[in-house]
Structure 1
């Protein structure tokens, strides 16, 4: 980890860990009942303005999460504040996610699909989400998760090589769950509820 990232970690880690303490008010999203498996996590994150609904009364928990949306969630969770230039040609300065992507790229939280293309509207896969989540873990806690060779999932042969250790680490740290007890489904598309729960787990892990 370079000195720039280490400096970010020291400020970000304390703020983010302290931020999830209060008892938030009930949500007003009509598509997210209190019996939903991710309700408690989403309620906490909405109260802290880490995630938001897609409308005044909708959250769309089952809708696919875009790369821009998950980047914004992570930037909000880590409270990244350093301004940066947008390195990608498919993002305009006026885009609602432009500043978040620039900040995330500056600290190594995200990378593009290529040197000039970020694909902000692309739907994020579960393995892509976990790779970004573990980069956030390193920034937040000031340490790399280490190497994990033992897997909880029987479909690890379907996980891309660049995502194998992050998936194993996230599972071991209980930051993520599989789609079933034995299947991670790495190429599956992450839902908004899954993304929110993963970020909540990141901020509350011990």
Structure 2
């Protein structure tokens, strides 16, 4: 890691060349060119340590950045440390094709991953440094560009960083309700990240007449979901909150966990939770995987938001990881 940082802090990196276009621009490091969806606003100095000051390019919040040639990005996210009076590494993302700058609270060091690198997260180039600057009221987006509510943004970004973001949700408005197909894909991704094993492609006869989606068939083969009838899956049907809790519990069981029927949570609308979902809802709530509303309701039949489901998956990974299976 120290070797990587020594490369990233090269002076050549920090003085990246800027070439503006008609409605966008490019930033160039030593071996890669980065395309920006909006023109930069200028530069400003920032303190990397107690003794080092460098320069960062300011871009409008909402600017999308990608490596020319569609290379995958290695992104280091820096946060200002008030006590130390300088910026320091907060988190790292890798393997995404595009980064959207969603706020002005972080500095991003963006480089292109070396496809021939012998070590994980090896940078091809020295990269560029960018920071968001608000030019007015901006709709919050994730670090990969999807619209998200402000309260959920940080947790959703953490879920993305933890490799919990399925392809089915990329480019989608995460404030909207999740579909059965999208949650099936999320359940497969959650199982794979928690178990460390890839779910094999489904090779049996397709039981559904309305979908051939490979992630749906994987989720079906693993016992995470079933159809809405003997022959249909209901791909575009919205998933509700009690169904989400039930599918998450199915993932937990597949990981070797046990759902105790004794655990209860006092939701004011407990009687409206379907009998078949009660154990799963109470288990997920008691473990902090899923929460009720401020008024004490669970809302079992309410549509589950995409952003909320990603946060549920993140909480399950954090609270019920492989070392906590009971």
- Residue 146 in 1 paired to residue 260 in 2? yes
Contact 1:125 1:189 in 2 (8 A): yes
Higher strand share: 2
Report if aligned partners of 1:131, 1:167 keep a CA contact under 8 Å in 2: yes
User: Hey, what does 2:147 align to over in structure 1?
Assistant: 31
Pick the structure with greater CA Rg. Answer: 2
**Which one of 171, 180, 190 corresponds to residue 77 of structure 1?**
190
Q: Decide whether the 8 Å contact of 1:45 with 1:51 is kept in 2.
A: no
1:177 matched to 2:291: yes
| TM value normalised by structure 2 | 0.50
Deviation of 1:76 after TM superposition, in Å, equals: 1.4
Distance 2:207 2:309 in 1: 25
- Judging by fraction of residues, say which structure has more helix: 1
Select the residue among 182, 189, 208 that pairs with 1:88. Answer: 208
Equivalent position to 1:101, from 216, 223, 242? 216
Structure 2 residue runs of 5 or longer lacking an equivalent are 1-89, 94-100, 102-142, 193-197, 321-326
CA distance in 2, matches of 1:90, 1:175: 31
Shift of 1:179: 2.4
Contact 1:42–1:196 (8 Å) recurs in 2: yes
What is the SS of the residue equivalent to 1:114? Answer: coil
Kindly tell me the number of residue pairs found equivalent between the two proteins.
Answer: 174
Give the SS at the match of 1:23.
strand
1:103 deviates by 1.0
CA separation of 1:124 and 1:187: change in aligned 2, threshold 3 A = same
- Closer, same or farther in 2 for the Cα pair 1:78/1:149, shift >3 Å? closer
Q: In the superposition, relative to structure 1, how do residues 120 and 159 fare at CA in structure 2: closer, same or farther (>3 Å)? A: same
* Equivalent in the alignment of 1:192: 306
The residue that corresponds to 1:15 in the other structure is none
Structure 1 residue 66 and structure 2 residue 179: aligned?
yes
CA displacement 1:137-159 (0-9 Å, x = unmatched): 1123x122211353220101111
Greater RCO (CA < 8 Å, at least 6 residues apart): 1
Q: TM-score, normalised by structure 1?
A: 0.76
Compute the RMSD of aligned alpha carbons.
Answer: 2.1
The farther-off stretch of 82-91 and 192-201 is 82-91
User: For the structure 1 residues 49 and 170, does the alpha-carbon distance in structure 2 shift closer, same or farther, using more than 3 Å as the test?
Assistant: closer
